[in-house]
Structure 1
């Protein structure tokens, strides 16, 4: 196996024309350079240099190795530059899993920000509904996953959770509903109403069921829609009322429904990012997490309660 460092010394000797000049340029002693050249010739099994007057020149074998040393040196410099770009977060690849209602209000602006700030970073996106994305992160098939997870949920070995947003639920009522004129609605006011489920099960329905249980009732679901846009359609048709998280309303609500605050208690789903713990976060992933936090903050600000009586 040829020593790469010795090949670079050979290149210095050949380009400078003498062992003494190469030693001066490299900061070595001439005897140290001579020893390295003798060791390299032993590794190569052939003479690499021949004397010419006061200097040396490369043999055919020496010229071959010098050419390869030049290529290796160029590639090494390129590798150092590439590593510096990765360390700075200007390049790299990040794989992310996300759920549907986080797409437009959180993921899209975060990716747009990444492209502006770090155009060399590639982000692979994959929708995971309805599967649990944490095993994907643990198995290194994804670098980060967005999910709904209570703050007090049990720890997951090897996974760190980063809080992004508390996504509050809002009451969605048909126009002309008896509660539509109120700026805010107590959850108990909806106890006797027929309900439309935006989610059929899972972590997005759990905050609704928990809040209703705290208010002393179980909602009577008469329709299961499977998504929040369809739920609004059923509400508009007068089939029932629904609770929809603010991210589910991020693109706006139908003109034939009314959206109101809910209180006593206010259901909230906690949106977090799951990343692998126990090792430094790669710069590209760190940049994506910053962009997600900024998108979450912008979403939270945009969803501040509107003036009383607004539709």
Structure 2
């Protein structure tokens, strides 16, 4: 038995569904099932979950196991956090995660201005999708991360989120498209168009899917990509339409695309997220304060899931 197996079990407990749990721990459903069977054999054949239905439910033994597994994982997280104060904090190394589109959100200037102000702190930047960054934060493999804020984030009590950039989602088409000259459009009007979207690991993907469903249709997705420049390029070639943020659309304004606002506005927020379980080093405090004072910040919102007032101390 190891820490990863405990994390797998708790992911299943959380989702009560093997497929959804496998997405969270970034392994295939078949691999997750094998790990679970292996663990149950290691425990002497104890069955932790009832897997006779589409959802998986804890058995009595599973409930007892989950109780202890949760305690062990909490202690493990505390151990990692304490050790990081002796390494990253004192050496001045700061691990920051970011979604891949940080250049179009203007975050490069934030990183650059921080590095100039604090040259003794080394920034270690990791690019991943929001869901993956949250996973790394849970494992204490990142100090903090810039993510696209999901709608249910306020339910994640283990984190504090500092909103940085509020933006709106817009429709982009090729300049020769019949809708290209429109200043605003109802999403239902493009229900028959092929859609090119960010891939399913992104928060923007779910935002777009939810918006389309509210407009009464399921989009015909012909292409997905984790790279915004590929999406813009495919739209510019006339292979479909897409939903991206206005800042991203403006960043690629020289491409052969038109930006059309949605009649029913959809908000997209980029936030700096920190685990509440992590002891904040001086380097973390310095970055948080710098980010809050950053000139490029467009939101004055208070942090979510936090009672912070003023600067970090």
Give the TM-score normalised by structure 2.
0.58
What is the CA-CA distance between 1:258 and the residue it aligns to?
0.9
Q: Which structure has the larger Rg?
A: 1
CA distance in 1 between partners of 2:278 and 2:231 (Å): 42
What is the CA-CA distance between 1:299 and the residue it aligns to?
6.4
1:287 aligns with 286
- Checking the alignment, whether the CA contact within 8 Å between 1:199 and 1:228 is kept in structure 2 is no
Q: Matched residue of 1:189: which SS?
A: helix
1:224 aligns with 224
2:266 aligns with 267
CA distance in 2 between partners of 1:175 and 1:250 (Å): 14
What is the CA-CA distance between 1:200 and the residue it aligns to?
4.1
CA distance in 2 between partners of 1:290 and 1:262 (Å): 34
Runs of 4+ aligned structure 1 residues displaced above 6 Å come to none
Alignment of 1:132-281 (within 5 A): 132-153=132-153, 155-156=155-156, 158-249=158-249, 251-264=251-264, 266-277=265-276, 281=280
User: What are the superposed Cα offsets for residues 209-247 of structure 1, whole Å, 9 maximum, x if unpaired?
Assistant: 111111112212223344221122221222211111234
- Checking the alignment, whether the CA contact within 8 Å between 1:158 and 1:276 is kept in structure 2 is yes
CA distance in 1 between partners of 2:281 and 2:226 (Å): 36
User: What are the superposed Cα offsets for residues 89-115 of structure 1, whole Å, 9 maximum, x if unpaired?
Assistant: 998332111110024534311111112
- Checking the alignment, whether the CA contact within 8 Å between 1:138 and 1:159 is kept in structure 2 is no
- Checking the alignment, whether the CA contact within 8 Å between 1:151 and 1:270 is kept in structure 2 is no
- Cα pair distance change 1:294/1:102, threshold 3 Å: farther
CA distance in 2 between partners of 1:244 and 1:205 (Å): 9
Correspondence for 2:296 among 291, 295, 298: 298
Give the TM-score normalised by structure 1.
0.59
- Checking the alignment, whether the CA contact within 8 Å between 2:94 and 2:143 is kept in structure 1 is yes
2:53 aligns with none
Unaligned 5+ segments in structure 2 are 1-88, 300-313
CA distance in 2 between partners of 1:198 and 1:141 (Å): 25
Does residue 1:99 correspond to 2:99, yes or no? yes
Unaligned 5+ segments in structure 1 are 1-88, 302-311
- Checking the alignment, whether the CA contact within 8 Å between 1:106 and 1:292 is kept in structure 2 is no
- Checking the alignment, whether the CA contact within 8 Å between 1:162 and 1:274 is kept in structure 2 is yes
- Cα pair distance change 1:219/1:300, threshold 3 Å: farther
- Cα pair distance change 1:123/1:226, threshold 3 Å: closer
- Checking the alignment, whether the CA contact within 8 Å between 2:164 and 2:297 is kept in structure 1 is no
CA RMSD of aligned residues (A): 2.9
What is the CA-CA distance between 1:160 and the residue it aligns to?
2.1
